[in-house]
Amino acid sequence: MAARGAGAEVPSEERGRVTITEIARQAGVSVPTVSRVVNGRSDVSPDTRARVEDLLRRYGYRRRPAASGARAALLDLVFDDLDSPWAVEIIRGVEEVAHAAGVGTVVSAIHGRSGDAREWMRNLRARASDGVILVTSALEPVLHEELRILGVPLVVVDPAGSPALDVPTVGAANWSGGMAATEHLLALGHRRIGLIAGPPRLLCSRARLDGYRAALEGAGVPFDDSLVVPGDFRPESGFTGCTALLDLPEPPTAVFAASDQMALGAIEALRRRGLRVPEDMSVVGFDDLPEVRWSAPPLTTVRQPLADMGELAVRTVLRLTRDERPAAPRVELGTELVVRASTAPPATTG
């Protein structure tokens, strides 16, 4: 086979099949040198690195899983931001399964900044991580592509919902959750039910809204878009959204907030107006964060199985490191209504 020019096409049946020995031969370097490049070490001249990386990229090189007993395995668990209230729940689920498998969990945040994402990618290569669990849908396509070329298995944990990706994804049943929350309020006798919705750019917001709407229609209650106010999942927007609902000429008797944090904001808005939960207004959240068991009152909410989602993501990424296929490319774990003290039948107006 003649040496290929830079950027030459590699027939698809050859991609991912070539050995590191063949890459070393074509690059005119030793196998250990190729290995140093693959593992991101810096003791390689820039020219050699560029030549080897070009070949690795063109052949869609996949690293083989580390031989048993070699260097301990590492997983990278990457968040947009660690101030997300569910970060620790996901870390807990991931760590438990990874630890049991003897795999270390490296936690990072890339803060939605592309500089940080590049830096993270460089570190990922340098530590020769065996797999990546991404808790975001926001990784830049170019970095996503780099991961693919490095052959590092990737699984996305996706509480926010995202368009179909070409990687395995673990999500939650957002539509059913929205429906369950609303059906609970309908069953208590509420007919005017407000919704503090999530950011429209996230599919999970749309799914929860559609679930709310489906429940209303199922009960023969007409959808009224003046009862839907926008939010961004943060408490402040729940406060503002609930205040807007209270200012309507005919306010609702119950509110479904599409996140627990917005539900806490809503409860505070009610408290400031001297209104009691659930006597004057019922409130349902979405997430079941640990702290809402002790909100005042304890919150009725839709449980997202965040730790379970983390666990499933690890099992999937470990399958991929063994070159096994995941059970399904996209899995949605079920959500569940948890009834506590923030919901009750509507007050009978005298």
Contact positions toward a copy of itself, by CB under 8 A? 39-43, 69-72, 74, 76-77, 82-83, 85, 87-88, 91-92, 95-96, 99, 102, 104-109, 116, 119-120, 122-123, 126-128, 235, 261, 264-265, 267-268, 271, 289-291, 293-298
Contact 330, 168 (CB under 8 A): yes
- Using the minimum distance from each CB to a copy of itself, give the nearer residue, 104 or 230: 104
Q: Smallest gap, in angstroms, from Cβ of residue 271 to a copy of itself? A: 5
Q: Smallest gap, in angstroms, from Cβ of residue 106 to a copy of itself? A: 4
Q: Distance between CA atoms of 318 and 77, rounded to whole angstroms?
A: 13
Q: Residues 6 or more apart from 11 whose CB is under 8 A from it?
A: none
- List the one residue out of 340, 333, 318, 337 whose CA is nearest residue 157: 333
Q: Smallest gap, in angstroms, from Cβ of residue 167 to a copy of itself? A: 22
- Using the minimum distance from each CB to a copy of itself, give the nearer residue, 116 or 336: 116
Q: Smallest gap, in angstroms, from Cβ of residue 108 to a copy of itself? A: 6
- Using the minimum distance from each CB to a copy of itself, give the nearer residue, 168 or 310: 310
Q: Smallest gap, in angstroms, from Cβ of residue 121 to a copy of itself? A: 12
CB atoms within 10 A of CB 138: 11
- Using the minimum distance from each CB to a copy of itself, give the nearer residue, 105 or 343: 105
- Using the minimum distance from each CB to a copy of itself, give the nearer residue, 39 or 114: 39
Phi, psi of 337 (to 5 degrees): -75, 130
- Using the minimum distance from each CB to a copy of itself, give the nearer residue, 176 or 301: 301
Q: Residues 6 or more apart from 278 whose CB is under 8 A from it?
A: 297, 341, 342, 343, 344
For residue 277, what are the CA distances in angstroms to 190, 192, 281? 14, 16, 5
Q: Distance between CA atoms of 209 and 238, rounded to whole angstroms?
A: 15
Q: Smallest gap, in angstroms, from Cβ of residue 340 to a copy of itself? A: 11
Cα-Cα-Cα-Cα torsion 122, 124, 127, 132, nearest 10 degrees, comes to: -170
